Structures are given as C-alpha cells and as structure tokens.
Amino acid sequence: MEDQKFKSELEKWKKKLADHERKNPPLKKRFSTLSDMEVPLMCTPEEMKDFDYTRDLGFPGEFPYTRGVHTNMYRGKMWTMRQFSGFGTAEDTNQRYKILLERGQQGLSVAFDMPTLMGLDSDSPLSKGEVGKCGVAVDTLADMEVLFDGIPLGDITTSMTINSPAPVLLAMYVAVAEERGVSKDKIRGTLQNDILKEYIAQKEWIFPPKPSMRLVADTLEYCTKELPNWNTISISGYHIREAGATAVQELAFTLADGIAYVQAGVDRGLDVDEFAPRLSYFWDVHNDFFEEIAKFRAGRRMWAHIMRDRFKAKNPRSWMLRTHAQTAGVSLTAQQPLNNIARVTIQGLAAVLGGTNSLHTNSMDETLALPTEQAVMVALRTQQIIAEESGVSNVVDPLGGSYFVEWLTNKVEAEAYAYIKKIDELGGMMEAIDKGYPQSEIANAAYHFQRQLETKEKVMVGVNKHQVDESARSIDVLYIDRAVEERQVRKVEEIRKKRDKKKVEATLQELKRACEGSENTMPHILNCVKAYATVQEICDVMKKVFGSYRDPGMF
C-alpha cells in the first residue's frame, strides 16, 4: 500500500519536474561527476529496490566492511595523521620530522628524492639537478642513521614511499632499528613496494616487471617471517589517479594490482591468511565529494569479496581493506594558491566520511614547490579541525543508507568490476601492463578531462574560471639550493673511502649469486646495506642479473 502511494507520488512529482524544467531549464545539459560519470537529479527508494542491508553494508567491522573496518571507527581509533615529507639531506628532513612529531603527527612518511627512487647515487651523472629536490637523498645506511636520529623507532610507525629499490630501503630501516636495539616485532610501518603501479602510472622503475615482482614476493616472504607488524605493500591508487585515471579506473586498476600481489604470495607458497592481513591500500581523494566517498566504500566491499571468494581467505583481517589516503595533488592550482586550503578541506572530509584509516592533507603550495613549514602546518591543522571540531568523527559511516550514496557506491563498484573482468581476460595485470592497456585507458581519460577543461565543461576555479591577475604572486616557496647536492655528493664519497671495501665487494657478490638463483634476496640486501654499500651499487648488481626497463613512450 505504502509502495503504491510512493509510486503515484513519484509519478506526480516527475510530471511537475518536467513542467518546471520546461519553463526553467537546468543550467547544464548534463550533470556528471569529476570523472564524468552522469548522475541523476536525485535518488529515491526506487534506486534501493534491491538493497539488502546485511548483504550490502553489514555492520562496521564486519563483512563486507562497507561501513568501515573498525567496530566503532573513529570513536575508538582516530585515523593516523601522516604527512608525507622529505627534502634536502637526511639532516634537513630529520629536523622536519621532529617538528611534525612535536605538533601532534602520529606517524612519519618518508619522501625520497628522484635518484633514490630510481636506484641512483647522488653522484651519478643522471642525478644531476635532482638531489634532494622531490624528497630526501639517501645513498647509504649512514644517511638513514641520520634521518631517524633521535626518533624512537619502537614507538612510531614509518611509511616509506619507495618501490623499485624498496628492499634496499627496508633493509636500511631494519638495520637502523637493529643498531638501536629495537626488536623486529616492534618495528611498525609500511613499505609502498607497489611496483605494478609504477609501470602503470608513476614510472619510477629500474627492472622489468617480472624480476620486479620477484623482489616484491621476496619482501612479502621476508616480512611475513621476520617483521610481523610491518605492512608489506601499500597498494596504491594515488599515482594512477594523479596520472589522469577516473575514480573507477583508480579503484579497478589498484584492486587488480592487489589481486596480482596476492597471487604472487600464494605462488611463493605462502598461506594467504599469513600475509594478506599486512597488505594495505592507498587512495587518492579528489574534489568530487560523493564520488570519492562511494569509491572508498565500494573498495572495501569489493576487496572483502575478492579475498573471501576468490582467494578463499578465512581470516577476517585478510578481508579488510585498510587504507591511507592523500588529497589530490593534481587538483591543486598554482593560481590563487590559498584556494587550495578549501580544496584540501573538502577532500579530507570526503576521505573521513569514506572511512579512511590514515590521511595526508596536501599543503597549499605544492604545485609550486615542496611545501614550506607554514603551509605544512595549515595542512595538518586542517585534518585536526575535521577530527576535533567538525563532529564528523562521532558517527560511523554517516552517509550509509543515503539513496544517492548507495546508488553511486553500487555504480562505481559495477564499473570497477567490469574493468577487473577485462584485466582477467587479458591474463591478469602483468599481461595487461605488457599490452599497455591500463596505461592507454589512463592517457585517454587524462586527455578527455583536459579537453573538458578547455571547453569549460569542467571548471578549475582560478584556472579556467574566476581568474585574477597574478603577475605578482604572493606566496613564499621552499627553495632547495644546489649546495645540497654538493654536500650529499661529498658525503657519499667520504663513506666510500671510510668503509671496508672487501666487505662491500663480498656482500655484493653474494647478492648477485642470490639474484641469479631463486633464494630470497632480502637477507643478502641486508648484509650489503650493513656494509655501507650504496643504493646504486646494490641496484646495479641486481640490474646486471635482471636487466632494465625502458619507457615504451606511447601517447
């Protein structure tokens, strides 16, 4: 009866709407999300016809985790405020870390410079001009010792954004902890270690995909056995999105990467429930508020099903998609940079309403340079205001049950599953990358969006609408001077002179032998770093065995 009444009322209202819009046409012909997904004017119980609460949402902390992975979410555990940072030398960054911890940040997140990401030393000719620019320069264990000087490694968690040379930097972290007497079960943190998204989007690679996946499996196995509280892979959508992917592509390609890593662990002979609980995710959080919230919710539900149904995982911790999030760097504008504070607030709020477990809020000046100290402070304060003033952390998944949010969550999920099916048909993510499939899908989406900006179908305030004359820009930026490079080059040269050369040679030889065979490389890499072998010396040895990867240069 109630249903009949609803239907007739809805029909009446639809007629009224049509009349209204004849006289007052909508401002645009088409309304779509940032990712250009068309959205209805509103959703009603009609879109919820097949909705089944226990199947689709469940309770917080329970399968399929749509509402969040913790039973009482932020009432019991606030998300970790983790600001990504690193610049100049280890000394410079160490100081910044101490300031961040003093200000109430709970975890560290290390940004390495480009040479480190590419497995190069600061004195390599290829590193010219790049040392300490986009992150901190680390060449040897000596730099890592300085980077974490005075920081209690047993009490904090550290996230390291490093991929191709991930085993080397992990080994350095373990070695520093060992020097300080911090036992392996006390070491907590996250290694990004997500090489697949490098080929797809971020493009900081060294070796071809196959040996790279072996190194991922090596770290997975090593950590599972030796570092029980370490998150082994941070499966990252962030870079995929920043490269131009839509929200759905970000979700789908990242989950497909996750599937490939779980398969690699299983193929290595590990029990899925032994290692899956230590996998975590990393989402981008962009401007389109509801699209982002839907993505976070759909992602948790999909991963729960993938892990339980596809991989037959039995441990509920294997089903949980725990995630870090970072506000979208690509959404920031160099024009009127203070406006970025507003963008970051909206994005941070979306991540929290989406149930993130950890968050980095970008600084307003990051399209211009690495952030200044003041800009970093505003960014951290933004999430503290969301956490402690806005009241949103009081309630679990407050948008659950919203007709529109549930409709959008379902839609994002269905479209992401269609991509995963396509990737499965191609033979999995490794094959798909080889065929250039995700790369070209992302390039197409990036081009489509740029065209929409040109026609003003999509708006960036201050860029293609509401511009002002900014011939005199009024914002201070952080400048890394060339002296950093000179200092770092001198430092690595000194270490090379001081260390025991025979020991370096011997450990590198042992590593080479391990690479040629099939044993786990991690213990050998650990020996190399303890002998103060450089990042490049270690990577070069592996390159000799594994070969290197070149950009196919498609556009």
Partner 1 sequence: MGTQPAMKKTSKIRVLIAKPGLDGHDRGAKVIARALRDAGFEVIYTGLHQTPEMIINAAIEEDVHVVGLSILSGAHNALVPEVIEGVKKAGADDVLFLVGGIIPDEDMEALKKCGVQMVFTPGASIDGVIDYIKTHVKERPVT
Output Rg (C-alpha) for the chain, integer angstroms: 24
- The verdict on 463 binding partner 1 (CB under 8 A) reads yes
Q: Name every residue whose Cβ is closer than 8 Å to that of residue 341 and which is 6 or more positions away in sequence.
A: 364, 378, 382
Among 129, 181, 269, 517, binds partner 1 (CB under 8 A): 129
**Could you say whether residue 72 binds partner 1 (CB under 8 A)?**
no
Quickly tell me which residue has 């480190």 as its tokens: 116
How far is the CA of 194 from the CAs of 85, 200, 251, 273, 301, in angstroms?
19, 11, 15, 20, 21
The piece of 23-31, 277-285, 361-369, 499-507 that touches partner 1 (CB under 8 A) is 361-369
Residue 458, CA atoms < 13 Å, CB-side half-sphere: 18
The verdict on 476 binding partner 1 (CB under 8 A) reads no
Given 16, 128, 498, 544, the residue binding partner 1 (CB under 8 A):
128
Residue 30 or 555: which CB sits closer to partner 1?
555
Instruction: Give one DSSP letter per residue of 291-333, joined into a string.
Output: HHHHHHHHHHHHHHHIIIIIS---SHHHH---EEEEE-GGG--
Q: Which is nearer to partner 1, 13 or 447 (CB)?
A: 447
Near partner 1 by CB under 8 A: residue from 43, 78, 101, 334: 334
**Chain-centre distance for alpha carbon 520:** 26
144 touches partner 1 (CB under 8 A): no
Total interface residues for partner 1 by CB under 8 A: 48
Q: Which one among 480, 504, 526, 533 touches partner 1, defined by CB under 8 A?
A: 480
**Contact between 32 and partner 1 per CB under 8 A:** no
CB 364 within 8 A of CB 344: yes
Total residue count of the chain as it appears in this document: 555
Give 56's DSSP letter: I
Q: Angle, to 10 degrees, between the axis of helix 522-530 and the axis of helix 166-179?
A: 60
Cβ-based nearer residue to partner 1, 227 or 245: 245
Contacts of 4 (CB under 8 A, 6+ apart): none
* Binding flag, residue 550, partner 1 (CB under 8 A): yes
* Phi, psi angle pair for 528, to nearest 5°: -60, -50
Site string for partner 1, 230-249 (x = CB under 8 A): ------------xxx-----
Q: Which is nearer to partner 1, 23 or 550 (CB)?
A: 550
Q: Indicate whether 460 belongs to the interface with partner 1 (CB under 8 A).
A: yes
Instruction: Tell whether residue 443 is a contact of partner 1 (CB under 8 A).
Output: yes
Distance CA 239, CA 84 (A): 14
- Of 51-59, 122-130, 270-278, 496-504, the window that binds partner 1 (rule: CB under 8 A) is 122-130
The interface with partner 1 within residues 246-305 (CB under 8 A) comprises none
Spell out where 354-463 has E strands.
358-360
Q: Closest Cα partner for 73 from 399, 410, 411?
A: 399
Q: Which member of 120, 136, 353, 396 binds partner 1 (CB under 8 A)?
A: 120
CA-CA distance, 376 to 487, in Å (whole number)? 25
Q: Judge whether 336 and 470 are in contact, CB under 8 Å.
A: yes
Site of tokens 């033979």: 427
127 contributes a contact to partner 1 by CB under 8 A: yes
Q: Please report how close the Cβ of residue 203 comes to partner 1 at its closest, in angstroms.
A: 3
- In the complex with partner 1, which residue's Cβ is closer, 450 or 509? 450
| Residue 461 found at the interface with partner 1 (CB under 8 A) | no
Written as six digits, the tokens of 465 are: 């609408």
- The smaller minimum CB distance to partner 1, of residues 1 and 554, is found at 554
Q: Which stretch binds partner 1 (CB under 8 A): 31-39, 114-122, 178-186, 261-269?
A: 114-122
Binding stretches for partner 1 (CB under 8 A): 114-115, 117-118, 120, 125-130, 133-134, 198, 202-204, 242-244, 330, 333-335, 367-369, 443, 446-447, 450-451, 453-454, 460, 462-464, 473, 477, 479-480, 482, 550-553, 555
